[in-house]
Amino acid sequence: MSSFTRRKFLKISAATVTVASGAAVLSKHSVTPAQAAKRPATGVQRIPTTCDICFWKCGAIASVRDGVLWKIEGNPDDPLSRGRLCPRGTGGVGAHFDPDRLRRPLIRRSDRGRDAWHEVSWDEAFAYIAKKMHAIKAAHGPEAVALFSHGIGGNFLKHTLKAFGTPNMAAPSFAQCRGPRDTGFRLTFGEDIGSPERTDIKNAQCLVLIGSHLGENMHNSQVQEFADAVGNGATVIVADPRFSIAAGKAKHYLPIKPGTDLALLLAWMHVLVQEGLYDKEYVAKHGFGFEQFAARLATFTPEWAYPETGIAPDVIRATAREMARHKPATLVHPGRHATWYGDDAQRSRAIALLNALLGSWGSKGGFYTPASMDVPAYPYPAYPKPARPKVDNPDHRYPFAHETITTGIREATITGKPYPVKGWFVYATNLLQALPNEQETIKAIQNLDLLVVIDVVPSEIAGWADVVLPESVYLERHDDLNVELFREPFVALRQPVVEPPGEQKPNWWMAKRLAETLGLGHFYPWKDIEEYFAHRLTAAGLRYEELKAKGILRGAAAPIYAADGVPLTFETPSGKIEFYSPQLEQAGFDPVPVYRKHEEPPPGAFRLLFGRSPVHTFSRTQTNRVLADMMDENEIWVNADVARRLELKSGEYVRLRNQDNVLSNRIKVKATQRIRPDCVYMVHGFGHTAKGLRHTYLKGASDSQLVTRYATDPLMGGTGMNVNFVTLEPEATRV
Ligand SMILES: Nc1nc2c(c(=O)[nH]1)N[C@H]1C(S)=C(S)[C@@H](COP(=O)(O)OP(=O)(O)OC[C@H]3O[C@@H](n4cnc5c(=O)[nH]c(N)nc54)[C@H](O)[C@@H]3O)O[C@H]1N2
Ligand SMILES: Nc1nc2c(c(=O)[nH]1)N[C@H]1C(S)=C(S)[C@@H](COP(=O)(O)OP(=O)(O)OC[C@H]3O[C@@H](n4cnc5c(=O)[nH]c(N)nc54)[C@H](O)[C@@H]3O)O[C@H]1N2
Ligand code: SF4
Ligand SMILES: [Mo]
């Protein structure tokens, strides 16, 4: 078998450059006898599907040679990938071949947090889960079961749990990610930015990036459009305490002091208003409360902002004028991971207001109006109405949260208030890495009667589960239809291209079987997911067979800019762009954003910042051997002068100690002038502590472990995580 394997992968390394190094890595682990035995066909098959190495869901084409997965490329018909995948997507083959994958359902037979499991059949696993769920429902009501999930794969489990009667389901993509941004834009324009974002990057003549580190943040369409804009000669302005890859493309790089962006944004708006450079016609037509807004900006001069931000007044004025020069094709990018300092919804609102002054909402080179195809939902029976409201946000203490707050469910699980939560389902989210303060997560888990984790590898969160259900990876399964809201409407299909190597099953199958075991089988009137697809697509006047063959069906493109006739309407209380927000005022918040200082690191300590690597996704790809071969551990970026003072050299290991005395795993120093001296920076997702992730176990350090402190956004419950301070300890001083 091994010679067979090596031959296959040597061919790969000759054929494709991008995964060449990965192929060599894979040849050591790759095809199991079971996989080889299952190989159905000979010759090369090319099967369209969608990528799931991150949630962008790029259209892809997988090549399978003699039944063995060979390579994955972009689908040229797909508007998201435009025929090209990012490096992570190309390395997706490594997810299928990962030798550390979960293979069978597991039930714990010891205390939580200790590794003692026995393998069970799927029927035994569902019988066990259903029995526990019935017991929780009898004692506490169905609302005492919650679901955490991330990505489209959670759709069918949501359906089963709604049928069971709980409203409690949340994703970290809200309170740990884009929630504050969406709240800030909703309060201003009455609408979200969406995902994929409705940013017209490719047509922007001036692009302002506040932290958004495109190029490291690899969301495919955005990175390609960024390259288009740069190629078209767009002016790029980057504000980041770290000289990011995007900063390398910038005409103006502003090395801002972390946590002071709101001061910069206010000063920019001050200049636009004071110098009369804003889009007066647009503001007069669409704005509400502009006079009150303008009055409140009066004191936020560039001279005021200078000592806060470290950005000189002439630079603030020059960049504001540059933005005005290109309006309305100036895009101040709203960012995505906005949970930084706890006042993030207000910072995002300031970004929204700056865009409003420039007239970019609705304009070419600004924010377009996306469209989607009309594919009706499956006509299921009505769900039972939960007896109690969602548990995460009692009395609407976060009045502008429009999605469920993960950390609110966690808190209710700890306190039992407003009512107890006793069962968690966790689908494709590594809560110990994704939520701040892992001790709180562990405390909540200790209060549960049931923790079910559905994962593909033995992740940290799986290590705490009572039942672990092994999922087939995206290359081995169908997921729900992706009816995308984008520049042009389309529907895309994820479908299996190879067989799973063990007893892994897709989420839809698990969700259906669980419903049947719970006595809720009537919520799944379809036999299998292909019947479900066919039903929905037929209702939309489309053909499943065609989608299956092409992977993507595109709808007719419609206008996307106001200038082409798209009506500009605003779902705010005033029906206008709210420069001044009465709803914020009524709820006791600043109607126009106000800057307040954040706590600074004490002498000798540094603010801990983190972000993305182009070749990894969160904490989910470090075990993928192809991607690990490109980046095996993270580094800690330290300002070169600071490193010299601390007598640290690049390549040496240190440990980080945070304000709560948590000590990290060892991490390599990267001494560089590309970061300010008051902060340090690392890529998120490394420093795994789950032993079953054999390859990546204890490689690099985990930012999540050091994020013991977080600042909660009073508007919407987001958890600002850039509020932790660390000192560096040379590894050699440790015994
Ligand atoms: N400290 C810190 N915390 C953060 C961030 C940060 O930068 N630093 N980023 C925040 C942001 S922006 C986000 S969006 C969230 C992301 O948070 P998550 O989406 O929770 O990301 P991961 O921690 O990678 O967890 C993904 C889990 O899914 C599993 N998985 C992978 N593929 C599959 C599959 O096909 N099926 C199933 N069932 N499971 C699968 C992986 O093994 C892993 O356990 O984290 C947030 N939290
Ligand atoms: N390769 C890859 N790409 C990804 C992901 C991935 O896991 N891997 N995840 C995707 C997801 S879900 C998200 S949410 C996005 C996240 O990506 P983005 O939204 O682009 O960025 P953040 O993670 O918020 O921020 C990281 C950047 O902000 C800078 N920064 C830190 N503090 C401050 C500050 O106070 N002010 C300013 N101006 N800058 C600051 C850091 O130096 C770094 O450059 O990436 C997406 N793209
Ligand atoms: S951006 Fe990259 S990892 Fe994400 S779906 Fe697209 S190709 Fe896959
Ligand atoms: Mo995110």
In short, whether 175's Cβ falls inside 6 Å of ligand 1 is no
pLDDT digits (tens, 9 = 90+) for 477-500: 999 999 999 999 999 999 999 999
Strand partners, 237: 208, 252
CATH number at residue 64: 3.30.200.210
Ligand having the closest approach to the CA of 684: 1
Judged against a pLDDT cut of 70, whether residue 33 lies above it is answered with: no
DSSP codes of every residue in 358-377? HT-BTSTTSB---B----PP
Which two structure tokens, joined as six digits, stand for 484? 């995308």
The mean-pLDDT minimum among 107-121, 146-160, 414-428, 585-599 falls in: 107-121
CA of 107 relative to ligand 3 center, distance in Å: 33
| pLDDT > 90 fraction of the chain, expressed in percent and rounded | 92
Statement to judge: residues 91 and 145 lie in one domain: no
Atom number, ligand 2, closest to the C-alpha of residue 613: 1
Angle between helices 261-274 and 302-309 (to 10 degrees): 160
Ion ligand 4 residue ranges (Cβ < 5 Å): 177, 337
Statement to judge: residues 513 and 481 lie in one domain: no
Rg (CA), the chain: 26
Ligand having the closest approach to the CA of 335: 2
What is the β-pairing status of strands 106-108 and 467-470? antiparallel
| Burial letters 126-160, b for 16+ CB under 10 A, else e | bebbbebbeebbeebbbbbbbbbbbbbbbbbbbbb
CA of 214 relative to ligand 2 center, distance in Å: 8
* Distance between CA atoms of residues 354 and 277, nearest Å: 12
In short, whether 473's Cβ falls inside 6 Å of ligand 1 is yes
Q: Is 74 helix (H, G, I), strand (E, B) or coil?
A: strand
CA of 27 relative to ligand 1 center, distance in Å: 27
CA of 89 relative to ligand 1 center, distance in Å: 16
In short, whether 721's Cβ falls inside 6 Å of ligand 1 is yes
Type of residue at 39: R
In short, whether 455's Cβ falls inside 6 Å of ligand 1 is yes
CA of 56 relative to ligand 3 center, distance in Å: 6
DSSP codes of every residue in 197-246? T-B-GGG-SEEEEES--BTTB--HHHHHHHHHHHHTT-EEEEE-SB--TG
Q: Is 24 a domain residue?
A: no
pLDDT digits (tens, 9 = 90+) for 515-568: 999 999 999 999 999 999 999 999 999 999 999 999 999 999 999 999 999 999
Ligand having the closest approach to the CA of 617: 2
β-sheet with 106-108: strand ranges across: 117-119, 106-108, 467-470, 450-455, 423-427, 145-149, 169-170
CA of 115 relative to ligand 3 center, distance in Å: 33
Tell me the backbone φ, ψ of residue 173, rounded to 5 degrees.
-70, -10
Ligand having the closest approach to the CA of 95: 1
Judged against a pLDDT cut of 80, whether residue 678 lies above it is answered with: yes
Ligand having the closest approach to the CA of 150: 1
Statement to judge: residues 499 and 518 lie in one domain: no
What's this model's pTM, rounded to 2 decimal places?
0.95
Cβ contacts of 521 within 8 Å, gap of 6 or more: 515
Judged against a pLDDT cut of 90, whether residue 42 lies above it is answered with: no
Please compute the mean of the pLDDT values over residues 346-352 and round it to a whole number: 98
DSSP codes of every residue in 441-510? HHHHHHT-SEEEEEESS--TTGGG-SEEEEBPPGGG-----EEE-BSS-EEE----SS--SSS-B-HHHH
- The residue segments making up the domain with residue 294 are 181-368
Cβ distance 454 to 426 under 8 Å? yes
pLDDT of the residue at 723: 98
In short, whether 474's Cβ falls inside 6 Å of ligand 1 is yes
pLDDT of the residue at 110: 78
Q: Is 410 a domain residue?
A: yes
Atom number, ligand 3, closest to the C-alpha of residue 56: 5
Atom number, ligand 2, closest to the C-alpha of residue 210: 38
**Ligand 2: which of 80, 252, 612 to mutate, most ligand atoms within 8 Å of CB?**
612
Protein residue with its CA nearest to atom 29 in ligand 1? 428
Length of the chain: 735
Q: Is 494 a domain residue?
A: yes
Strand partners, 610: 682
* Distance between CA atoms of residues 91 and 732, nearest Å: 36
Judged against a pLDDT cut of 70, whether residue 31 lies above it is answered with: no
Protein residue with its CA nearest to atom 44 in ligand 1? 430
Statement to judge: residues 279 and 244 lie in one domain: yes
Tell me the backbone φ, ψ of residue 634, rounded to 5 degrees.
-95, 170
Cβ contacts of 51 within 8 Å, gap of 6 or more: 57, 58, 59, 60, 72, 81, 85, 89, 92, 474
Q: How far is CA 373 from the centre of its chain?
A: 24
Q: How confident is the model at residue 40 (pLDDT cuts 50, 70, 90)?
A: low
**Ligand 1: which of 149, 217, 429 to mutate, most ligand atoms within 8 Å of CB?**
429
Statement to judge: residues 255 and 206 lie in one domain: yes
Residue 660 burial (CB count, 10 A): 12
Protein residue with its CA nearest to atom 20 in ligand 2? 212
In short, whether 616's Cβ falls inside 6 Å of ligand 3 is no
In short, whether 53's Cβ falls inside 6 Å of ligand 3 is yes
Ligand having the closest approach to the CA of 53: 3
How many domains is the chain partitioned into structurally?
A: 4
Statement to judge: residues 120 and 200 lie in one domain: no
Judged against a pLDDT cut of 70, whether residue 32 lies above it is answered with: no
Which two structure tokens, joined as six digits, stand for 35? 């996989």
Q: Is 17 helix (H, G, I), strand (E, B) or coil?
A: coil
CA of 690 relative to ligand 3 center, distance in Å: 25
pLDDT of the residue at 109: 87
Q: How confident is the model at residue 28 (pLDDT cuts 50, 70, 90)?
A: very low
Q: Is 493 a domain residue?
A: yes
Judged against a pLDDT cut of 70, whether residue 245 lies above it is answered with: yes
Judged against a pLDDT cut of 70, whether residue 363 lies above it is answered with: yes
pLDDT digits (tens, 9 = 90+) for 310-344: 999 999 999 999 999 999 999 999 999 999 999 99
* Distance between CA atoms of residues 663 and 233, nearest Å: 46
Average pLDDT, rounded, for the chain: 94
Q: Is 723 a domain residue?
A: yes
Q: Is 269 helix (H, G, I), strand (E, B) or coil?
A: helix
* Distance between CA atoms of residues 611 and 637, nearest Å: 11
pLDDT of the residue at 8: 29
In short, whether 85's Cβ falls inside 6 Å of ligand 3 is yes
Atom number, ligand 3, closest to the C-alpha of residue 50: 5
Residue 100 burial (CB count, 10 A): 18
Cβ distance 671 to 640 under 8 Å? yes
Please compute the mean of the pLDDT values over residues 270-283 and round it to a whole number: 98
What is the β-pairing status of strands 450-455 and 423-427? parallel
CATH number at residue 446: 3.40.50.740
Which two structure tokens, joined as six digits, stand for 494? 């994820």
Burial of 6 (0-12, 13-18, 19+ CB in 10 A): middle
Among 680, 669, 672, smallest CA distance to 725 is for 680
Q: Is 284 helix (H, G, I), strand (E, B) or coil?
A: helix
Q: How confident is the model at residue 113 (pLDDT cuts 50, 70, 90)?
A: low
Statement to judge: residues 490 and 510 lie in one domain: no
Ligand having the closest approach to the CA of 348: 2
pLDDT digits (tens, 9 = 90+) for 437-461: 999 999 999 999 999 999 999 999 9
pLDDT of the residue at 515: 98
pLDDT of the residue at 2: 31
**Ligand 2: which of 201, 217, 347 to mutate, most ligand atoms within 8 Å of CB?**
217
CATH number at residue 628: 2.40.40.20
Q: Is 662 a domain residue?
A: yes
Strand partners, 425: 147, 452
Among 480, 507, 506, 511, smallest CA distance to 493 is for 480
Statement to judge: residues 93 and 156 lie in one domain: no
In short, whether 610's Cβ falls inside 6 Å of ligand 1 is yes
pLDDT of the residue at 386: 97
CATH number at residue 268: 3.40.228.10
Statement to judge: residues 89 and 131 lie in one domain: no
Please compute the mean of the pLDDT values over residues 403-412 and round it to a whole number: 98
Q: Is 588 a domain residue?
A: no
Atom number, ligand 2, closest to the C-alpha of residue 685: 7
Bond from prior residue into 500 cis (ω within 30 degrees of 0): no
The mean-pLDDT minimum among 15-19, 55-59, 403-407, 683-687 falls in: 15-19
Angle between helices 344-358 and 313-325 (to 10 degrees): 50
Protein residue with its CA nearest to atom 23 in ligand 2? 611
pLDDT of the residue at 140: 98
Statement to judge: residues 210 and 150 lie in one domain: no
Protein residue with its CA nearest to atom 18 in ligand 1? 429
Type of residue at 249: K
In short, whether 196's Cβ falls inside 6 Å of ligand 3 is no
In short, whether 220's Cβ falls inside 6 Å of ligand 3 is yes
* Distance between CA atoms of residues 678 and 258, nearest Å: 8
CA of 361 relative to ligand 3 center, distance in Å: 27
pLDDT of the residue at 734: 44
Atom number, ligand 3, closest to the C-alpha of residue 52: 5
In short, whether 54's Cβ falls inside 6 Å of ligand 3 is yes
Ligand having the closest approach to the CA of 664: 1
In short, whether 49's Cβ falls inside 6 Å of ligand 1 is no
Which two structure tokens, joined as six digits, stand for 120? 């069970």
In short, whether 620's Cβ falls inside 6 Å of ligand 3 is no
- Residue showing tokens 């996989």: 35
Protein residue with its CA nearest to atom 22 in ligand 2? 337
Whole-angstrom CA distances from 327 to 50, 86, 111 are 36, 31, 61
Angle at 433 between CA 340 and CA 159, to 5 degrees: 100
Atom number, ligand 2, closest to the C-alpha of residue 675: 42
Judged against a pLDDT cut of 60, whether residue 6 lies above it is answered with: no
Q: Is 340 a domain residue?
A: yes
Ligand having the closest approach to the CA of 621: 1
CA of 438 relative to ligand 2 center, distance in Å: 21
For 107-169, give the secondary structure using H, E and C: EECCCCCCCCEEECCHHHHHHHHHHHHHHHHHHHCHHHEEEEECCHHHHHHHHHHHHHCCCCE
CA of 349 relative to ligand 4 center, distance in Å: 18
Statement to judge: residues 220 and 360 lie in one domain: yes
pLDDT of the residue at 203: 98
Statement to judge: residues 136 and 204 lie in one domain: no
Whole-angstrom CA distances from 640 to 213, 644, 672 are 21, 6, 5
Q: How confident is the model at residue 37 (pLDDT cuts 50, 70, 90)?
A: very low
Judged against a pLDDT cut of 90, whether residue 38 lies above it is answered with: no
Protein residue with its CA nearest to atom 26 in ligand 2? 611
